[in-house]
Structure 1
Amino acid sequence: MSATSASAGTPAGPSRRTRRRSTASRPPSPPTASPWTAPGHGYEHFTAGPGAKVALNYRGKNVNVVLAGDGPVQELVNGKVTKTLQAHGTPTLYSLVDDPEPRRARVEIRPTPGVEAFSFTFG
């Protein structure tokens, strides 16, 4: 049997040899590398446990994070400590990176246990 339709003379589709599985539909692995908890049934935010951290690769000028709770949050860029934020109270947007030009880098936060992380934003 040929790879063309008998009636129209058009290709019937890719052969088995050319079909490949797409990795685009696989969900990304979570960026957390340590103990976090997600209270309730949703994933609105995560609460840091002992030794918690989150690391993300990015390309941009700005990186922000929304944090809540009370305690210090150490920030690293490309493996080097750049500053320590003080999370306090209700969810608040904190600036992690504010560069004059876009760049590729890796940002990591290491919060005190009990600090809640909601989301990251990039610009």
Structure 2
Amino acid sequence: MSQPPQRVRVTRTRRPTRRDRPPTVRDEIAGHSRLGTTYVSSLVRAQLQLSLSTLAFGAVTLGALPLLFALVPPARRLSVLGVPLPWVVLGVLVYPGVVLTARWYTRASERLERDFGDVVGRR
């Protein structure tokens, strides 16, 4: 008479677990590893560079207006529809420029975050 097959004890499934696969970027960031810290610091550095360049652009353009009116006195005496040119520039032209700069900054910042999200989600 033949012997019955020996019983096999199953202790775990053969599905891959988290330990079996390489860590993702999201795991690296959540685990505060050196690689995760590098990814996050690169995002922070890009955002800082964008912020400083936007601030520099605003300081140069808005800072140049008083300098322009100080160095070119006839520009102070010009008027548009009876309103002095400095008032027209400061009261009418500056605000659309600030709004456009803020809009550009917002889009660029969202693009940085979207690109970072793509990198994190992809790996």
Task: Give TM-score, length-normalised by structure 1.
Answer: 0.22
Which of structures 1 and 2 has the bigger CA Rg?
Answer: 2
Task: Give TM-score, length-normalised by structure 2.
Answer: 0.22
Instruction: Judging by fraction of residues, say which structure has more helix.
Output: 2
